[in-house]
């Protein structure tokens, strides 16, 4: 399918007004588009900088009608926006990614089934619809991680389960009195590292991708991403890119998609599954791709805009190896008092690109911004990043 590109001056819309929508708005606006955001929060980071901010709930018919009337194309910044809202909008204008793909990403069970269909290795798992299903859990899934199939993010909605005896308690805790909550138990795999591929797929099926990202999480939240050409052997990188491309193609996906992978340590799991196991997908730009604003000649946000507007996709080129550090609300607090980090000291370091999302309330674990450190080689970027982390108070 092809479509005439939307001309600058057209309005592009996004459901959700957080930092992803804000950075996407920046990219859309620099290409000359107007932006519209649907988010109930009057202070949403993207609402603050968009031409139009529709302040309504995601399923509010009036809010959706206002977006349909104002916009020529729509996207979403998070997968938990009701697929029904996207489906309703899709009757009136192009929506990318489409509701069917977002629905798969919303549900860990559907997501895993999709990976299996694509022939990509996944962690051994079992979907647990109710407490009766716990008795049939095979021993080989323990120790495991019990996750709700829906609405989990940043390590929320999951519990590590060391033994069978811990399963009923963990299941009850995740259900929290709601019997319709379905869980999935995954075998806990021995991880050597984690990585991700951010790709963009156009309406015509053309696929481009960012360079592979190496990701470190802290307390379930992405903490550090490193990007450089030698991060993994070329064959492994290609393997991840091919798997991600296959996952997108089989979803008939249009837009930016992130695919997260586990790299396994040597051992029986690696012998059985291979070195690379797919973890999950995010149907949108991803925190691990934020570096692309400063390290690549096309960012993940511009790619999303190009997909939506029906513009050509150019393969992004990494022009600078980089390290990205997330800035969580904790950094604003020291000894119980709130104070801003020393931005001037940070910006005195070479190759530092600071991004703050315009959030006023610095809460524990809240993503307030990120900093990308670019350099001519990864060793220099790491060296500067260590200095930046020390002066911001980011734990090593």
DSSP 339: -
Q: Return the number of the residue (107 or 294) whose C-beta is nearest ligand ADP.
A: 107
Which of 256, 255, 257, 275 lies closest to 265 in space, CA to CA? 275
Nearest distance, CB of residue 272 and ligand ADP, angstroms: 14
Burial class (CB in 10 A: 0-12, 13-18, 19+), 233: exposed
Rule CB under 6 A: is residue 220 a binding residue for ligand ADP? yes
Nearest distance, CB of residue 262 and ligand ADP, angstroms: 6
Q: Between residue 147 and residue 166, which ones bind ligand ADP under the rule CB under 6 A?
A: 152-155
Which of 238, 231, 227 lies closest to 325 in space, CA to CA? 227
HSE-up of 52 (CA within 13 Å, CB side)? Answer: 21
Nearest distance, CB of residue 333 and ligand ADP, angstroms: 23
Nearest distance, CB of residue 225 and ligand ADP, angstroms: 12
Nearest distance, CB of residue 194 and ligand ADP, angstroms: 5
Rule CB under 6 A: is residue 134 a binding residue for ligand ADP? no
Q: Return the number of the residue (154 or 342) whose C-beta is nearest ligand ADP.
A: 154
**Residue 50 to residues 168, 344, 364: CA-CA distances in angstroms?**
47, 28, 27
Q: Return the number of the residue (78 or 253) whose C-beta is nearest ligand ADP.
A: 78
Rule CB under 6 A: is residue 145 a binding residue for ligand ADP? yes
Write phi, then psi, for 143 (nearest 5 degrees).
Answer: -65, 145
**Residue 15 to residues 77, 86, 125, 270, 367: CA-CA distances in angstroms?**
6, 9, 32, 39, 19
Rule CB under 6 A: is residue 191 a binding residue for ligand ADP? yes
How far is residue 387's CA from residue 175's CA, in Å, rounded to a whole number?
A: 43
How far is residue 307's CA from residue 301's CA, in Å, rounded to a whole number?
A: 10
Rule CB under 6 A: is residue 275 a binding residue for ligand ADP? no
Using CB under 6 A, which of 103, 280, 294, 302 touches ligand ADP? 280
Rule CB under 6 A: is residue 362 a binding residue for ligand ADP? no
Q: Return the number of the residue (194 or 302) whose C-beta is nearest ligand ADP.
A: 194
Q: Return the number of the residue (154 or 204) whose C-beta is nearest ligand ADP.
A: 154
Region binding ligand ADP by CB under 6 A among candidate stretches 185-193, 301-309, 321-329, 363-371: 185-193
Nearest distance, CB of residue 270 and ligand ADP, angstroms: 13
Handedness of CA 204, 107, 151, 40 (dihedral sign): positive
HSE-up of 194 (CA within 13 Å, CB side)? Answer: 17
Using CB under 6 A, which of 51, 150, 164, 188 touches ligand ADP? 188
DSSP H helical segments within 78-157, as ranges?
A: 83-90, 99-106, 108-117
Per DSSP bridges, beta strands 221-227 and 322-328 are: antiparallel
Nearest distance, CB of residue 271 and ligand ADP, angstroms: 16
Q: Return the number of the residue (124 or 358) whose C-beta is nearest ligand ADP.
A: 124
Rule CB under 6 A: is residue 295 a binding residue for ligand ADP? no
Rule CB under 6 A: is residue 279 a binding residue for ligand ADP? yes
DSSP H helical segments within the chain, as ranges?
A: 19-30, 61-70, 83-90, 99-106, 108-117, 167-175, 234-250, 268-273, 292-295, 300-309, 343-347, 378-392
Nearest distance, CB of residue 141 and ligand ADP, angstroms: 10
DSSP 390: H
Region binding ligand ADP by CB under 6 A among candidate stretches 25-33, 60-68, 176-184, 188-196: 188-196
Which of 72, 69, 93 lies closest to 28 in space, CA to CA? 72
| Footprint on this chain of ligand ADP (rule: CB under 6 A) | 123, 145, 152-155, 186, 188-189, 191, 194, 217, 220, 260, 279-280
């Amino acid at each position: 399918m092809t479509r005439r590109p939307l001309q600058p001056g057209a309005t592009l819309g996004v459901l959700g007004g957080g930092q992803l929508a804000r950075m996407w708005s920046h990219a859309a606006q620099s290409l000359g588009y107007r932006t519209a955001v649907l988010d109930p929060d009057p202070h949403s980071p993207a609402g603050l900088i968009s031409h139009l901010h529709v302040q309504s709930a995601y399923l509010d018919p009036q809010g959706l009608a206002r977006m349909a009337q104002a916009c020529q194309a729509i996207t979403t910044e998070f997968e938990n926006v009701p697929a029904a809202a996207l489906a309703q909008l899709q009757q009136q204008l192009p929506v990318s990614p489409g509701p069917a793909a977002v629905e798969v990403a919303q549900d860990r069970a559907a997501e895993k089934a999709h990976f299996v269909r694509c022939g990509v290795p996944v962690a051994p798992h079992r979907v647990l619809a109710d407490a009766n299903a716990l008795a049939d859990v095979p021993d080989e899934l323990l120790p495991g991680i019990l996750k709700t199939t829906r609405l989990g993010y940043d390590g929320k909605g999951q519990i590590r389960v060391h033994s069978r005896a811990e399963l009923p308690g963990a299941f009850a805790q995740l259900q929290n009195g709601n019997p319709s909550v379905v869980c999935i138990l995954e075998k806990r795999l021995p991880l050597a590292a984690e990585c991700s591929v951010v790709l963009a797929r156009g309406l015509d099926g053309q696929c481009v991708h960012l360079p592979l990202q190496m990701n470190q999480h802290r307390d379930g939240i992405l903490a550090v991403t490193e990007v450089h050409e030698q991060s993994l052997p070329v064959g492994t990188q290609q393997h991840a890119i091919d798997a991600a491309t296959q996952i997108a193609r089989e979803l008939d996906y249009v837009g930016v998609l992130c695919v997260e992978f586990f790299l396994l340590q040597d051992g029986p799991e690696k012998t059985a599954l291979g070195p690379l196991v797919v973890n999950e997908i995010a149907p949108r730009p991803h925190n691990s791709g934020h570096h692309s604003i400063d390290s690549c000649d096309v960012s993940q946000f511009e790619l999303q805009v190009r997909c939506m507007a029906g513009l050509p996709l150019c393969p992004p080129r990494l022009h600078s190896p980089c390290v990205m550090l997330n800035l969580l609300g904790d950094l604003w607090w020291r000894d119980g008092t709130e104070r801003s980090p020393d931005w001037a000291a940070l910006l005195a370091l070479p190759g530092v690109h600071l991004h703050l999302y315009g959030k006023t309330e610095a809460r524990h674990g809240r993503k307030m911004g990120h900093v990308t450190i670019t350099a001519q080689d990864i060793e220099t970027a790491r060296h500067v990043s260590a200095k930046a982390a020390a002066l911001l108070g980011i734990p090593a």
